[in-house]
Structure 1
Protein backbone atom coordinates (compact mmCIF):
# COMPACT_ATOMS: atom_id res chain seq x y z
CA UNK A 1 0.00 0.00 0.00
CA UNK A 2 2.81 2.39 0.89
CA UNK A 3 4.56 1.53 -2.34
CA UNK A 4 1.48 2.41 -4.31
CA UNK A 5 1.18 5.77 -2.56
CA UNK A 6 4.85 6.57 -3.29
CA UNK A 7 4.47 5.86 -6.94
CA UNK A 8 1.35 8.00 -7.15
CA UNK A 9 3.13 10.91 -5.43
CA UNK A 10 6.11 10.69 -7.76
CA UNK A 11 3.84 10.76 -10.76
CA UNK A 12 2.08 13.86 -9.45
CA UNK A 13 5.42 15.69 -8.95
CA UNK A 14 6.58 14.70 -12.45
CA UNK A 15 3.32 15.91 -13.97
CA UNK A 16 3.58 19.23 -12.14
CA UNK A 17 7.18 19.65 -13.40
CA UNK A 18 6.11 19.09 -17.02
CA UNK A 19 3.31 21.60 -16.77
CA UNK A 20 5.65 24.27 -15.29
CA UNK A 21 8.22 23.73 -18.09
CA UNK A 22 5.61 24.27 -20.78
CA UNK A 23 4.42 27.46 -19.14
CA UNK A 24 8.02 28.72 -18.93
CA UNK A 25 8.65 28.08 -22.58
CA UNK A 26 5.39 29.75 -23.46
CA UNK A 27 6.25 32.80 -21.38
CA UNK A 28 9.75 32.95 -22.90
CA UNK A 29 8.28 32.85 -26.41
CA UNK A 30 5.81 35.54 -25.47
CA UNK A 31 8.62 37.67 -24.04
CA UNK A 32 10.74 37.25 -27.17
CA UNK A 33 7.80 38.26 -29.36
CA UNK A 34 7.09 41.33 -27.22
CA UNK A 35 10.79 42.26 -27.25
CA UNK A 36 10.90 42.03 -31.05
CA UNK A 37 7.81 44.21 -31.24
CA UNK A 38 9.41 46.72 -28.88
CA UNK A 39 12.59 46.91 -30.97
CA UNK A 40 10.51 47.37 -34.15
CA UNK A 41 8.50 50.14 -32.51
CA UNK A 42 11.72 51.90 -31.45
CA UNK A 43 13.07 51.69 -35.00
CA UNK A 44 9.81 52.98 -36.47
CA UNK A 45 9.82 55.83 -33.96
CA UNK A 46 13.39 56.81 -34.90
CA UNK A 47 12.51 56.71 -38.60
CA UNK A 48 9.48 58.90 -37.99
CA UNK A 49 11.60 61.41 -36.10
CA UNK A 50 14.20 61.42 -38.89
CA UNK A 51 11.48 61.88 -41.51
CA UNK A 52 10.02 64.70 -39.45
CA UNK A 53 13.42 66.49 -39.33
CA UNK A 54 13.87 66.01 -43.07
CA UNK A 55 10.40 67.34 -43.74
CA UNK A 56 11.09 70.36 -41.53
CA UNK A 57 14.28 71.15 -43.42
CA UNK A 58 12.51 70.72 -46.75
CA UNK A 59 9.70 72.99 -45.61
CA UNK A 60 12.22 75.65 -44.56
CA UNK A 61 13.96 75.37 -47.94
CA UNK A 62 10.66 75.69 -49.80
CA UNK A 63 9.70 78.72 -47.73
CA UNK A 64 13.04 80.36 -48.60
CA UNK A 65 12.53 79.62 -52.29
CA UNK A 66 9.00 81.01 -52.06
CA UNK A 67 10.30 84.22 -50.50
CA UNK A 68 12.93 84.53 -53.26
CA UNK A 69 10.26 83.97 -55.92
CA UNK A 70 8.07 86.63 -54.34
CA UNK A 71 10.99 89.09 -54.35
CA UNK A 72 11.76 88.28 -57.99
CA UNK A 73 8.11 88.76 -58.91
CA UNK A 74 8.06 92.10 -57.11
CA UNK A 75 11.20 93.26 -58.98
CA UNK A 76 9.74 92.11 -62.29
CA UNK A 77 6.55 94.04 -61.65
CA UNK A 78 8.60 97.12 -60.73
CA UNK A 79 10.69 96.81 -63.93
CA UNK A 80 7.53 96.40 -65.98
CA UNK A 81 6.12 99.58 -64.47
CA UNK A 82 9.34 101.44 -65.30
CA UNK A 83 9.25 100.17 -68.89
CA UNK A 84 5.59 101.13 -69.23
CA UNK A 85 6.39 104.63 -68.05
CA UNK A 86 9.30 104.84 -70.49
CA UNK A 87 7.08 103.69 -73.33
CA UNK A 88 4.57 106.34 -72.36
CA UNK A 89 7.36 108.93 -72.63
CA UNK A 90 8.46 107.53 -75.99
CA UNK A 91 4.96 107.65 -77.33
CA UNK A 92 5.07 111.44 -77.38
CA UNK A 93 8.32 111.83 -79.39
CA UNK A 94 8.08 113.62 -82.67
CA UNK A 95 8.53 111.98 -86.08
CA UNK A 96 11.86 113.83 -86.46
CA UNK A 97 13.10 112.35 -83.20
CA UNK A 98 11.94 108.90 -84.29
CA UNK A 99 13.88 109.27 -87.56
CA UNK A 100 16.96 110.37 -85.63
CA UNK A 101 16.73 107.31 -83.41
CA UNK A 102 16.38 105.11 -86.48
CA UNK A 103 19.49 106.61 -88.09
CA UNK A 104 21.45 106.18 -84.87
CA UNK A 105 20.56 102.50 -84.79
CA UNK A 106 21.59 102.13 -88.44
CA UNK A 107 24.93 103.83 -87.66
CA UNK A 108 25.52 101.45 -84.77
CA UNK A 109 24.85 98.49 -87.08
CA UNK A 110 27.22 99.88 -89.72
CA UNK A 111 29.98 100.40 -87.13
CA UNK A 112 29.52 96.87 -85.84
CA UNK A 113 29.88 95.52 -89.39
CA UNK A 114 32.95 97.72 -89.93
CA UNK A 115 34.59 96.46 -86.73
CA UNK A 116 33.81 92.87 -87.77
CA UNK A 117 35.52 93.47 -91.14
CA UNK A 118 38.60 94.87 -89.40
CA UNK A 119 38.78 91.89 -87.06
CA UNK A 120 38.52 89.47 -89.99
CA UNK A 121 41.24 91.35 -91.87
CA UNK A 122 43.54 91.32 -88.85
CA UNK A 123 42.89 87.61 -88.28
CA UNK A 124 43.66 86.94 -91.97
CA UNK A 125 46.88 88.93 -91.73
CA UNK A 126 47.94 87.01 -88.61
CA UNK A 127 47.32 83.76 -90.48
CA UNK A 128 49.41 84.95 -93.45
CA UNK A 129 52.24 85.97 -91.11
CA UNK A 130 52.25 82.55 -89.46
CA UNK A 131 52.29 80.85 -92.87
CA UNK A 132 55.25 83.05 -93.88
CA UNK A 133 57.10 82.16 -90.67
CA UNK A 134 56.55 78.45 -91.31
CA UNK A 135 57.88 78.79 -94.87
CA UNK A 136 60.98 80.65 -93.67
CA UNK A 137 61.68 78.14 -90.89
CA UNK A 138 61.28 75.30 -93.37
CA UNK A 139 63.73 76.94 -95.79
CA UNK A 140 66.26 77.59 -93.00
CA UNK A 141 65.82 74.35 -91.05
CA UNK A 142 69.41 73.21 -91.65
CA UNK A 143 70.88 76.28 -89.91
CA UNK A 144 71.70 76.31 -86.20
CA UNK A 145 68.78 77.74 -84.20
CA UNK A 146 71.13 79.96 -82.21
CA UNK A 147 72.41 81.64 -85.41
CA UNK A 148 69.05 82.56 -86.94
CA UNK A 149 65.64 83.32 -85.44
CA UNK A 150 62.27 83.78 -87.16
CA UNK A 151 59.34 85.17 -85.17
CA UNK A 152 56.20 87.33 -85.32
CA UNK A 153 56.07 90.42 -83.14
CA UNK A 154 53.74 93.44 -83.26
CA UNK A 155 52.21 92.44 -86.62
CA UNK A 156 55.60 92.11 -88.31
CA UNK A 157 57.77 89.09 -89.13
CA UNK A 158 61.39 89.30 -87.95
CA UNK A 159 64.33 87.30 -89.35
CA UNK A 160 67.37 87.84 -87.13
CA UNK A 161 70.68 86.48 -88.52
CA UNK A 162 73.89 86.33 -86.49
CA UNK A 163 76.80 88.29 -87.99
CA UNK A 164 78.99 85.19 -87.98
CA UNK A 165 76.72 83.73 -90.68
CA UNK A 166 77.06 86.82 -92.89
CA UNK A 167 80.21 88.86 -92.18
CA UNK A 168 83.77 88.64 -91.06
CA UNK A 169 84.55 90.38 -87.77
CA UNK A 170 84.61 94.17 -88.12
CA UNK A 171 83.77 93.95 -91.83
CA UNK A 172 80.78 94.56 -94.07
CA UNK A 173 81.97 92.13 -96.75
CA UNK A 174 79.60 89.18 -97.04
CA UNK A 175 81.00 85.68 -96.54
CA UNK A 176 80.46 82.70 -98.85
CA UNK A 177 78.09 81.17 -96.32
CA UNK A 178 76.03 84.37 -96.35
CA UNK A 179 75.10 83.74 -99.99
CA UNK A 180 73.52 80.41 -99.08
CA UNK A 181 71.58 81.88 -96.14
CA UNK A 182 70.34 84.93 -98.08
CA UNK A 183 69.47 82.73 -101.06
CA UNK A 184 67.07 80.68 -98.92
CA UNK A 185 65.48 83.84 -97.50
CA UNK A 186 65.21 85.35 -100.99
CA UNK A 187 63.46 82.23 -102.29
CA UNK A 188 60.62 82.75 -99.78
CA UNK A 189 60.48 86.53 -100.31
CA UNK A 190 60.36 86.19 -104.10
CA UNK A 191 57.34 83.92 -103.71
CA UNK A 192 55.54 86.85 -102.00
CA UNK A 193 56.10 89.81 -104.38
CA UNK A 194 53.63 92.01 -102.47
CA UNK A 195 55.78 91.95 -99.33
CA UNK A 196 58.00 94.91 -98.45
CA UNK A 197 60.78 94.62 -95.89
CA UNK A 198 63.48 96.50 -93.99
CA UNK A 199 67.05 95.27 -93.59
CA UNK A 200 68.60 96.48 -90.31
CA UNK A 201 72.24 96.28 -89.29
CA UNK A 202 73.05 95.98 -85.54
CA UNK A 203 76.40 96.03 -83.73
CA UNK A 204 77.69 95.63 -80.19
CA UNK A 205 79.01 98.61 -78.19
CA UNK A 206 82.70 98.04 -78.91
CA UNK A 207 83.96 101.16 -80.78
CA UNK A 208 85.36 100.67 -84.27
CA UNK A 209 87.25 103.03 -86.55
CA UNK A 210 89.54 102.32 -89.50
CA UNK A 211 90.21 103.50 -93.01
CA UNK A 212 86.85 102.12 -94.27
CA UNK A 213 84.59 102.42 -91.24
CA UNK A 214 83.95 105.56 -89.22
CA UNK A 215 82.03 104.05 -86.27
CA UNK A 216 79.32 101.52 -85.38
CA UNK A 217 76.67 103.62 -87.15
CA UNK A 218 78.71 103.36 -90.32
CA UNK A 219 79.36 99.63 -89.90
CA UNK A 220 75.70 98.76 -89.24
CA UNK A 221 74.51 100.80 -92.22
CA UNK A 222 77.09 99.33 -94.60
CA UNK A 223 76.18 95.81 -93.52
CA UNK A 224 72.50 96.49 -94.19
CA UNK A 225 73.19 97.94 -97.64
CA UNK A 226 75.50 95.01 -98.46
CA UNK A 227 72.63 92.59 -97.78
CA UNK A 228 70.19 94.69 -99.83
CA UNK A 229 72.58 94.78 -102.81
CA UNK A 230 72.93 91.00 -102.80
CA UNK A 231 69.18 90.50 -102.59
CA UNK A 232 68.70 92.92 -105.48
CA UNK A 233 71.57 91.94 -107.75
CA UNK A 234 72.07 88.27 -106.98
CA UNK A 235 68.50 87.17 -106.22
CA UNK A 236 66.53 89.70 -108.29
CA UNK A 237 64.32 91.10 -105.55
CA UNK A 238 62.70 94.37 -106.65
CA UNK A 239 64.63 97.23 -105.02
CA UNK A 240 61.38 99.12 -104.42
CA UNK A 241 60.41 96.46 -101.89
CA UNK A 242 63.50 97.00 -99.72
CA UNK A 243 64.80 99.58 -97.25
CA UNK A 244 68.28 99.47 -95.67
CA UNK A 245 69.05 101.00 -92.28
CA UNK A 246 71.67 100.93 -89.56
CA UNK A 247 70.75 100.77 -85.86
CA UNK A 248 74.34 100.78 -84.56
CA UNK A 249 74.62 99.57 -80.93
CA UNK A 250 71.45 101.21 -79.67
CA UNK A 251 68.92 98.39 -79.97
CA UNK A 252 70.62 95.50 -78.14
CA UNK A 253 68.92 92.21 -77.34
CA UNK A 254 71.42 91.38 -74.57
CA UNK A 255 73.84 93.15 -72.27
CA UNK A 256 77.28 93.95 -73.64
CA UNK A 257 79.19 92.77 -70.58
CA UNK A 258 80.59 89.56 -72.08
CA UNK A 259 81.75 88.15 -75.40
CA UNK A 260 78.69 85.87 -75.54
CA UNK A 261 76.18 88.67 -75.02
CA UNK A 262 77.98 90.99 -77.43
CA UNK A 263 77.79 88.28 -80.09
CA UNK A 264 74.01 88.26 -79.74
CA UNK A 265 73.86 91.99 -80.42
CA UNK A 266 75.91 91.70 -83.62
CA UNK A 267 73.19 90.73 -86.06
CA UNK A 268 71.33 91.64 -89.24
CA UNK A 269 67.56 91.75 -88.99
CA UNK A 270 65.11 91.51 -91.88
CA UNK A 271 61.78 93.01 -90.85
CA UNK A 272 58.84 92.09 -93.07
CA UNK A 273 56.59 95.08 -92.72
CA UNK A 274 52.81 94.90 -92.26
CA UNK A 275 50.80 95.94 -95.30
CA UNK A 276 49.67 99.26 -93.85
CA UNK A 277 48.25 100.52 -97.15
CA UNK A 278 45.72 97.68 -97.15
CA UNK A 279 44.86 98.41 -93.54
CA UNK A 280 44.42 102.12 -94.27
CA UNK A 281 42.10 101.27 -97.15
CA UNK A 282 39.85 99.58 -94.64
CA UNK A 283 39.96 102.66 -92.43
CA UNK A 284 38.96 104.82 -95.39
CA UNK A 285 35.71 102.92 -95.90
CA UNK A 286 32.82 105.41 -95.78
CA UNK A 287 31.11 105.49 -92.41
CA UNK A 288 27.62 106.79 -91.66
Structure 2
Protein backbone atom coordinates (compact mmCIF):
# COMPACT_ATOMS: atom_id res chain seq x y z
CA UNK A 1 0.00 0.00 0.00
CA UNK A 2 2.81 2.43 0.86
CA UNK A 3 4.38 1.85 -2.51
CA UNK A 4 1.04 2.42 -4.28
CA UNK A 5 0.52 5.70 -2.40
CA UNK A 6 4.08 6.85 -3.06
CA UNK A 7 3.77 6.58 -6.85
CA UNK A 8 0.87 9.10 -7.23
CA UNK A 9 2.67 11.57 -4.94
CA UNK A 10 5.80 11.37 -7.07
CA UNK A 11 3.73 11.90 -10.21
CA UNK A 12 2.14 15.04 -8.72
CA UNK A 13 5.55 16.43 -7.71
CA UNK A 14 6.93 15.76 -11.21
CA UNK A 15 3.93 17.43 -12.83
CA UNK A 16 4.27 20.53 -10.64
CA UNK A 17 7.99 20.71 -11.34
CA UNK A 18 7.45 20.39 -15.10
CA UNK A 19 4.77 23.12 -15.03
CA UNK A 20 7.12 25.38 -13.08
CA UNK A 21 9.88 24.88 -15.67
CA UNK A 22 7.57 25.74 -18.55
CA UNK A 23 6.35 28.89 -16.77
CA UNK A 24 9.93 29.98 -16.12
CA UNK A 25 10.87 29.51 -19.75
CA UNK A 26 7.82 31.47 -20.88
CA UNK A 27 8.64 34.21 -18.41
CA UNK A 28 12.24 34.43 -19.57
CA UNK A 29 11.13 34.53 -23.21
CA UNK A 30 8.62 37.28 -22.46
CA UNK A 31 11.24 39.19 -20.46
CA UNK A 32 13.70 38.96 -23.35
CA UNK A 33 11.00 40.07 -25.79
CA UNK A 34 10.09 42.95 -23.49
CA UNK A 35 13.71 44.07 -23.14
CA UNK A 36 14.16 44.00 -26.91
CA UNK A 37 10.94 45.95 -27.51
CA UNK A 38 11.89 48.46 -24.82
CA UNK A 39 15.31 49.03 -26.38
CA UNK A 40 13.82 49.34 -29.87
CA UNK A 41 11.17 51.73 -28.61
CA UNK A 42 13.74 54.01 -26.99
CA UNK A 43 15.85 54.05 -30.15
CA UNK A 44 12.84 54.71 -32.40
CA UNK A 45 11.59 57.44 -30.06
CA UNK A 46 14.96 59.19 -30.20
CA UNK A 47 15.10 59.00 -34.01
CA UNK A 48 11.51 60.18 -34.29
CA UNK A 49 12.11 63.23 -32.11
CA UNK A 50 15.18 64.10 -34.17
CA UNK A 51 13.25 63.88 -37.44
CA UNK A 52 10.34 65.81 -36.00
CA UNK A 53 12.74 68.63 -35.13
CA UNK A 54 14.24 68.44 -38.63
CA UNK A 55 10.77 68.63 -40.16
CA UNK A 56 9.97 71.70 -38.09
CA UNK A 57 13.25 73.27 -39.21
CA UNK A 58 12.44 72.48 -42.84
CA UNK A 59 9.03 74.12 -42.57
CA UNK A 60 10.79 77.11 -41.02
CA UNK A 61 13.23 77.19 -43.95
CA UNK A 62 10.38 77.27 -46.46
CA UNK A 63 8.72 80.11 -44.53
CA UNK A 64 12.06 81.90 -44.37
CA UNK A 65 12.40 81.64 -48.16
CA UNK A 66 9.01 83.30 -48.61
CA UNK A 67 9.96 86.06 -46.17
CA UNK A 68 13.31 86.65 -47.88
CA UNK A 69 11.64 86.83 -51.28
CA UNK A 70 9.23 89.48 -49.96
CA UNK A 71 12.06 91.41 -48.27
CA UNK A 72 14.23 91.36 -51.38
CA UNK A 73 11.37 92.57 -53.54
CA UNK A 74 10.78 95.43 -51.11
CA UNK A 75 14.49 96.26 -51.14
CA UNK A 76 14.53 96.07 -54.91
CA UNK A 77 11.68 98.56 -55.09
CA UNK A 78 13.57 100.92 -52.77
CA UNK A 79 16.70 100.67 -54.93
CA UNK A 80 14.68 101.31 -58.07
CA UNK A 81 13.13 104.42 -56.52
CA UNK A 82 16.59 105.65 -55.57
CA UNK A 83 17.82 105.04 -59.11
CA UNK A 84 14.87 106.95 -60.55
CA UNK A 85 15.72 109.92 -58.34
CA UNK A 86 19.35 109.78 -59.41
CA UNK A 87 18.39 109.72 -63.08
CA UNK A 88 16.06 112.69 -62.61
CA UNK A 89 18.62 114.75 -60.72
CA UNK A 90 21.54 116.26 -62.57
CA UNK A 91 23.46 116.63 -59.31
CA UNK A 92 23.97 112.91 -58.91
CA UNK A 93 27.14 111.41 -60.36
CA UNK A 94 27.44 108.44 -62.65
CA UNK A 95 29.26 106.46 -59.95
CA UNK A 96 26.19 106.44 -57.64
CA UNK A 97 23.92 105.47 -60.51
CA UNK A 98 26.22 102.61 -61.51
CA UNK A 99 26.35 101.35 -57.91
CA UNK A 100 22.58 101.39 -57.61
CA UNK A 101 22.21 99.51 -60.90
CA UNK A 102 24.63 96.84 -59.68
CA UNK A 103 22.72 96.46 -56.40
CA UNK A 104 19.40 96.18 -58.24
CA UNK A 105 20.79 93.52 -60.58
CA UNK A 106 22.26 91.59 -57.66
CA UNK A 107 18.97 91.77 -55.76
CA UNK A 108 17.04 90.59 -58.82
CA UNK A 109 19.35 87.60 -59.26
CA UNK A 110 18.96 86.61 -55.61
CA UNK A 111 15.17 86.93 -55.78
CA UNK A 112 15.14 84.70 -58.83
CA UNK A 113 17.38 82.17 -57.08
CA UNK A 114 15.03 82.01 -54.09
CA UNK A 115 11.96 81.73 -56.30
CA UNK A 116 13.59 78.97 -58.37
CA UNK A 117 14.46 76.97 -55.24
CA UNK A 118 10.94 77.21 -53.86
CA UNK A 119 9.33 76.49 -57.24
CA UNK A 120 11.59 73.48 -57.74
CA UNK A 121 10.54 72.00 -54.40
CA UNK A 122 6.84 72.70 -55.06
CA UNK A 123 7.04 71.29 -58.60
CA UNK A 124 8.82 68.11 -57.53
CA UNK A 125 6.29 67.52 -54.80
CA UNK A 126 3.40 68.05 -57.20
CA UNK A 127 4.89 65.66 -59.77
CA UNK A 128 5.61 63.12 -57.03
CA UNK A 129 2.01 63.34 -55.80
CA UNK A 130 0.53 63.06 -59.30
CA UNK A 131 2.71 60.05 -60.15
CA UNK A 132 1.70 58.34 -56.93
CA UNK A 133 -2.04 58.94 -57.25
CA UNK A 134 -2.02 57.83 -60.90
CA UNK A 135 -0.30 54.56 -59.96
CA UNK A 136 -2.90 53.65 -57.31
CA UNK A 137 -6.16 51.89 -58.18
CA UNK A 138 -9.59 53.23 -57.20
CA UNK A 139 -9.80 50.59 -54.46
CA UNK A 140 -6.38 51.54 -53.09
CA UNK A 141 -7.27 55.23 -53.06
CA UNK A 142 -10.05 54.45 -50.55
CA UNK A 143 -7.38 53.48 -48.02
CA UNK A 144 -4.65 55.93 -49.08
CA UNK A 145 -4.76 59.72 -48.65
CA UNK A 146 -2.09 61.89 -50.35
CA UNK A 147 -1.56 65.54 -49.45
CA UNK A 148 1.12 68.23 -49.90
CA UNK A 149 1.38 70.62 -46.95
CA UNK A 150 4.07 73.32 -46.70
CA UNK A 151 6.35 71.59 -49.19
CA UNK A 152 6.04 68.14 -47.57
CA UNK A 153 4.25 65.10 -49.05
CA UNK A 154 2.06 63.12 -46.62
CA UNK A 155 0.86 59.62 -47.62
CA UNK A 156 -1.61 58.34 -45.02
CA UNK A 157 -2.37 54.59 -45.00
CA UNK A 158 -5.33 53.03 -43.16
CA UNK A 159 -4.37 50.37 -40.63
CA UNK A 160 -7.06 47.88 -41.77
CA UNK A 161 -5.40 47.81 -45.20
CA UNK A 162 -1.81 47.87 -44.01
CA UNK A 163 -1.68 45.40 -41.09
CA UNK A 164 -3.16 42.10 -40.04
CA UNK A 165 -5.96 42.52 -37.51
CA UNK A 166 -4.65 43.48 -34.06
CA UNK A 167 -1.07 43.10 -35.24
CA UNK A 168 1.93 45.06 -36.48
CA UNK A 169 2.68 42.56 -39.27
CA UNK A 170 2.19 43.79 -42.84
CA UNK A 171 -0.82 42.19 -44.54
CA UNK A 172 -0.71 40.55 -47.96
CA UNK A 173 -3.23 43.12 -49.14
CA UNK A 174 -0.75 45.96 -48.47
CA UNK A 175 2.14 44.54 -50.49
CA UNK A 176 0.98 45.82 -53.88
CA UNK A 177 0.31 49.31 -52.51
CA UNK A 178 3.69 49.49 -50.75
CA UNK A 179 5.36 48.29 -53.95
CA UNK A 180 3.90 51.24 -55.87
CA UNK A 181 4.81 53.72 -53.14
CA UNK A 182 8.38 52.35 -52.98
CA UNK A 183 8.87 52.97 -56.71
CA UNK A 184 7.95 56.63 -56.24
CA UNK A 185 10.27 56.89 -53.22
CA UNK A 186 13.16 55.41 -55.21
CA UNK A 187 12.51 57.70 -58.18
CA UNK A 188 12.91 60.75 -55.91
CA UNK A 189 16.12 59.65 -54.21
CA UNK A 190 17.01 63.14 -52.93
CA UNK A 191 14.13 63.05 -50.47
CA UNK A 192 14.15 61.70 -46.90
CA UNK A 193 11.31 59.44 -45.74
CA UNK A 194 9.80 59.36 -42.24
CA UNK A 195 7.38 56.52 -41.41
CA UNK A 196 5.08 57.63 -38.58
CA UNK A 197 2.71 55.27 -36.75
CA UNK A 198 -0.51 56.55 -35.13
CA UNK A 199 -3.21 54.81 -33.08
CA UNK A 200 -6.59 55.58 -31.53
CA UNK A 201 -6.91 56.00 -27.75
CA UNK A 202 -8.15 52.46 -27.03
CA UNK A 203 -5.53 50.64 -24.90
CA UNK A 204 -3.81 47.69 -26.59
CA UNK A 205 -4.70 44.33 -25.03
CA UNK A 206 -1.64 42.24 -25.94
CA UNK A 207 0.85 41.12 -23.31
CA UNK A 208 3.81 41.46 -25.65
CA UNK A 209 2.94 45.12 -26.44
CA UNK A 210 2.90 47.48 -23.47
CA UNK A 211 0.84 50.36 -24.86
CA UNK A 212 -0.10 52.38 -27.95
CA UNK A 213 3.37 53.92 -28.05
CA UNK A 214 4.81 50.46 -28.63
CA UNK A 215 2.16 49.53 -31.18
CA UNK A 216 2.63 52.69 -33.26
CA UNK A 217 6.42 52.36 -33.23
CA UNK A 218 6.31 48.66 -34.12
CA UNK A 219 3.94 49.31 -37.01
CA UNK A 220 6.15 52.08 -38.38
CA UNK A 221 9.17 49.81 -38.03
CA UNK A 222 7.36 47.05 -39.96
CA UNK A 223 6.76 49.42 -42.89
CA UNK A 224 10.41 50.54 -42.83
CA UNK A 225 11.60 46.93 -42.90
CA UNK A 226 9.21 46.12 -45.77
CA UNK A 227 10.40 49.10 -47.83
CA UNK A 228 14.04 48.17 -47.18
CA UNK A 229 13.87 44.37 -47.42
CA UNK A 230 11.14 43.74 -49.97
CA UNK A 231 11.37 46.80 -52.20
CA UNK A 232 15.01 47.90 -52.03
CA UNK A 233 14.60 51.41 -50.58
CA UNK A 234 17.91 52.72 -49.18
CA UNK A 235 17.61 52.38 -45.37
CA UNK A 236 19.77 55.49 -44.90
CA UNK A 237 16.82 57.51 -46.17
CA UNK A 238 14.31 55.89 -43.81
CA UNK A 239 13.30 56.71 -40.24
CA UNK A 240 10.62 54.95 -38.18
CA UNK A 241 8.74 56.70 -35.39
CA UNK A 242 5.58 56.23 -33.33
CA UNK A 243 3.23 58.92 -32.02
CA UNK A 244 0.83 56.61 -30.23
CA UNK A 245 -2.63 58.10 -29.67
CA UNK A 246 -1.35 61.67 -29.31
CA UNK A 247 -1.66 62.93 -32.89
CA UNK A 248 -5.37 62.40 -33.67
CA UNK A 249 -7.03 63.80 -36.78
CA UNK A 250 -10.58 62.84 -35.74
CA UNK A 251 -12.73 62.40 -32.63
CA UNK A 252 -11.91 59.19 -30.77
CA UNK A 253 -15.42 59.02 -29.30
CA UNK A 254 -16.80 57.45 -32.50
CA UNK A 255 -15.77 54.30 -34.37
CA UNK A 256 -15.38 56.28 -37.60
CA UNK A 257 -13.09 58.76 -35.83
CA UNK A 258 -11.00 56.02 -34.25
CA UNK A 259 -10.63 54.34 -37.65
CA UNK A 260 -9.21 57.57 -39.11
CA UNK A 261 -6.76 57.92 -36.24
CA UNK A 262 -5.44 54.37 -36.71
CA UNK A 263 -3.10 55.18 -39.58
CA UNK A 264 0.50 55.13 -40.70
CA UNK A 265 1.94 58.14 -42.51
CA UNK A 266 4.78 58.09 -45.01
CA UNK A 267 6.20 61.61 -44.91
CA UNK A 268 8.48 62.56 -47.83
CA UNK A 269 10.58 65.71 -47.37
CA UNK A 270 13.36 67.44 -49.30
CA UNK A 271 16.70 67.21 -47.53
CA UNK A 272 17.50 70.23 -45.39
CA UNK A 273 20.89 70.87 -46.98
CA UNK A 274 19.16 71.71 -50.27
CA UNK A 275 18.04 74.99 -48.70
CA UNK A 276 21.05 75.78 -46.52
CA UNK A 277 23.08 77.34 -49.34
CA UNK A 278 20.37 79.91 -49.95
CA UNK A 279 19.39 80.88 -46.42
CA UNK A 280 21.42 83.78 -45.08
CA UNK A 281 23.31 84.45 -48.33
CA UNK A 282 21.48 87.54 -49.49
CA UNK A 283 23.59 90.11 -51.36
CA UNK A 284 25.02 92.90 -49.25
CA UNK A 285 22.96 96.08 -49.24
TM-score by length of 1: 0.63
Using the alignment, how far apart are the partners of 2:269 and 2:164 within structure 1? 28
Show the counterpart of 1:231: 227
Show the counterpart of 2:185: 189
- SS of 2:139 mapped into structure 1: coil
Q: Which has the larger radius of gyration?
A: 1
Using the alignment, how far apart are the partners of 1:192 and 1:166 within structure 2? 23
What is the CA-CA distance between 1:196 and the residue it aligns to?
1.4
What is the CA-CA distance between 1:209 and the residue it aligns to?
4.3
Deviations 1:107-127 (A, max 9, x none): 343223212211122112211
Deviations 1:137-168 (A, max 9, x none): 11212434331111211101111010011113
1:257 equivalenced with 2:253 (yes/no): yes
Q: Pairwise CA RMSD of aligned residues?
A: 2.4
Using the alignment, how far apart are the partners of 1:100 and 1:222 within structure 2? 65
- For residue 220 of structure 1, the aligned residue among 207, 216, 222 is 216
What is the CA-CA distance between 1:281 and the residue it aligns to?
1.8
What is the CA-CA distance between 1:206 and the residue it aligns to?
0.8
Deviations 1:148-204 (A, max 9, x none): 111211101111010011113332111111222111111221222222111000101
Using the alignment, how far apart are the partners of 1:196 and 1:111 within structure 2? 32
What is the CA-CA distance between 1:253 and the residue it aligns to?
1.2
Deviations 1:70-115 (A, max 9, x none): xxxxxxxxxxxxx89x94xx83x8x8xx867754653343223212
Q: Note closer, same or farther for the CA distance 1:100–1:267 as it changes in structure 2 (3 Å cut).
A: same
Using the alignment, how far apart are the partners of 1:144 and 1:232 within structure 2? 22
Using the alignment, how far apart are the partners of 2:95 and 2:207 within structure 1? 77
Could you list the runs of 5+ residues in structure 2 that have no partner in the other structure? 1-84
- For residue 118 of structure 1, the aligned residue among 114, 118, 123 is 114
Show the counterpart of 1:202: 198
- SS of 1:198 mapped into structure 2: strand
Could you list the runs of 5+ residues in structure 1 that have no partner in the other structure? 1-82
Using the alignment, how far apart are the partners of 2:275 and 2:96 within structure 1? 31
**What does 1:45-60 align with in structure 2 at a 5 Å threshold?**
none
Using the alignment, how far apart are the partners of 2:142 and 2:245 within structure 1? 20
1:245 equivalenced with 2:273 (yes/no): no
Using the alignment, how far apart are the partners of 1:141 and 1:171 within structure 2? 25
Q: How many residue pairs end up in the alignment?
A: 199
